[in-house]
Amino acid sequence: MTRGNLYEPLVDLDERMQLKPVLATAWRISPDGRTYTFTLRRGVRFSDGTPFDSQAMKFSVDRSLAMKKGPHIYVRMVRRVETPDSHTIVFHLDKPYSAFLRGLRLVSAVSPKAVKEREVRGDWAQGWLNEHSAGTGPYKVLEWKRGITMTWVKNEHYWGGWTGPHFTTIHLRMIYDPSAQRLMLEKGDLDLAQNVTMDDVPALKRTPQVTVYENIGAGGFFLYMNAAAGPTKDPLIRRALSHAWNHKAYEAIRRGLAPRTNGPTPEVVLGKAYNLDELYPYDLGKARALLAQAGHPNGGFTLRFLTQKGDEQKRVQFEVLQSELRKLNIRMELIEETWPAMNKRLADWARTRDPATAVHFIAVWVPANIFHPWEWLHLRFHTDATQDKGGRNAGFYSNPRLDSLMEEALAATDPKKEQQLWIQANEMLLQDAPIIHLDRMVDIIAMRKEIKGYYYKQDRIGYPYYQMSRAR
């Protein structure tokens, strides 16, 4: 939400998910893929009035690395940063890393002056920035009542200028009652509503002053299967469970808003050359045959399903799968925890590997942040990418052949060769079935018809408020 509005990176992705310049106007990559040189935009200032330059960008990257939070995973391969002049910054990497350029979109510039003046006990001003802002974006925080409201006003120093029909004030409200949100939108007390429920869509579509957008994002829902313990350690059982997923039943409950994912990596990332065979179709006959091959012709075991407390969509996923596995004489137990508790459970289990405490299904939503195969494959399936090591391999899957293939792809400097390697990695994962492929995220957004300039980005990272305006 704040990216692109309060803060800006060197490069970002446009609505077609292609790289575009932001705080950098040009860049070049050395033939060996280890050195990235950026020319910075001139005339840029932070919202506190201080100038943005190469030293400020270096400070922002150093801050991210030092904090070891969030976007640091996208720059942790940086060995050295040089600033040969005020508008040139050079990144030297430990090794070629093809995801680096796109990863930089998540590392935003923050005012060194603001951080140094508000730092408390080495927190890099994180406490202060939780309620304020100090970026180069078109807006800055005026007021922030956490969990209630947030107000942004225009950054008078913004390099893009304010001569066009831009919103100069943005009021964000946290409304927890979907019905109240719908009524406010219908009356004109709201201009835009996100997270609209399926129940409210018919009424909103009948409202002449409102437009409803049903956008399909690139991110997807998956069920990790524990590849390191219990019945799901066996690939045959994982394939059987994949055939037990009844997507039509799930889609009916979701009223048709459940487009199936088309593989471990979204098609939009790998292009038209990316063409996997059909995902595991629903077929209990095949599931029974695979269970028999694995030595469990009559099922007879119990699987634990871990998900986030309060997430109704994932509860529906559990119920659909539970209904089908019951037909195979496989029991399921539901474990619901807060997101921090889930992460702690998985990180702890990565260290103990105790079969008695293992969970066998982990329901997750995989976001689309940088639109590079690395974030769907390496970050989530590499042997060394488990939760305790800062990765997202919640199923503890390990395949040395896949690891080597992904590392070769990351080191590739030829884009065509890199793409083919990632496609091979996808095919390998499909055969080994470490996850059950569910559906892509559908974002239901409703907006007053007089609001112009909106466009949807499949990364789901905020709204382009600066480009939006109200028709007169």
pTM equals: 0.90
Mean pLDDT over residues 271-296, rounded? Answer: 87
Do 163 and 225 lie in one domain? The reply is no
Per-residue pLDDT, averaged over 376-395, amounts to: 89
Give yes or no: residues 100 and 238 share one domain.
Answer: no
C-alpha 277/C-alpha 266 separation (Å) is 14
> Quick one: pLDDT at residue 60?
97
Q: Residue 113 is inside which H or E element, if any? A: helix 112-118
Q: Is the pLDDT of residue 14 over 80?
A: yes
257 and 132 within one domain: no
Mean pLDDT of 225-237: 97
Is residue 231, in this structure, part of any structural domain at all? yes
Lowest mean pLDDT, pick from 152-161, 193-202, 263-272, 447-456: 263-272
Look at residue 115 in the predicted model and tell me its pLDDT. Answer: 97
Nearest to 374 by CA among 24, 96, 23: 96
Which domain CATH number covers 368? 3.10.105.10
Number of structural domains (the chain) is 2
- pLDDT over threshold 80, residue 460: no
Place of tokens 């609001």: 451
Q: Which two tokens stand for residue 445?
A: 């957004």
190 domain residue, yes or no: no
Closest CA to 197 of 458, 448, 444: 444
Instruction: Provide the pLDDT for residue 358.
Output: 96
Cβ atoms of 268 and 371 closer than 8 Å: yes
187 falls within a domain: no
pLDDT at 446 over 80: yes
Same domain, 162 and 291: no
Is 189 inside any structural domain?
no
Residue 343 domain boundaries: 217-441
Asked if pLDDT for residue 273 goes beyond 70, the answer is: no
In a domain, 210, yes or no: no
337 versus 459: which is more confidently predicted?
337
Whether residue 239 sits in one domain with residue 337: yes
Examine the domain organization and report whether 30 and 139 are in the same domain. Answer: yes
Across residues 420-427, what is the average pLDDT? 93
What is the model's pLDDT at position 407? 96
Which of 140, 174, 208 is the last residue before a domain boundary?
174
Same domain, 78 and 160: yes
Q: Please check whether residues 159 and 260 belong to one and the same domain.
A: no
How confident is the model at residue 1, as a pLDDT? 66
Nearest to 7 by CA among 127, 114, 117: 114
Average pLDDT score over the chain:
93
Cβ neighbours around 104 below 10 Å, total:
26
Contact present, 423 and 332 (Cβ < 8 Å): no
pLDDT for residue 458 is more than 90: no
Give the amino acid at 306.
Answer: L
Instruction: Give the orientation angle of helix 284-293 with respect to helix 235-243, to 10 degrees.
Output: 170
Please report, rounded to a whole number, the percentage of residues in the chain having pLDDT higher than 70.
99
* Band of pLDDT at residue 276, cut at 50, 70 and 90: low
Same domain, 270 and 386: yes
By residue count, the chain amounts to: 472
CA–CA distance, 91 with 97 (Å, rounded to integer): 12
The confidence score (pLDDT) of residue 4 equals: 84
Burial of 255 (0-12, 13-18, 19+ CB in 10 A): exposed
CA 192 to CA 188: how far, in whole Å? 9
Reduced to 3 states (helix: H, G, I; strand: E, B; else coil), residue 318 is helix
The domain that contains 2 carries what CATH number?
3.40.190.10
Is 152 found in the same domain as 6?
yes
Stretch 202-218: mean pLDDT, rounded?
93
pLDDT at 277: 63
Last residue of a domain, one of 144, 174, 204: 174
Task: Please report whether residue 182 resides in a domain.
Answer: no
**pLDDT bucket at 119, cuts 50 / 70 / 90:** very high
* Domain annotation covers residue 201: no
Mapped onto helix, strand or coil, the DSSP state of residue 77 is: coil
Within a domain: residue 318?
A: yes
For residues 268 and 119, state if they share a domain.
no
Instruction: Name which of 111-125, 186-200, 202-216, 258-272 the model is least confident about.
Output: 258-272
Same domain, 223 and 159: no
Question: What's the pLDDT at 261?
Answer: 87
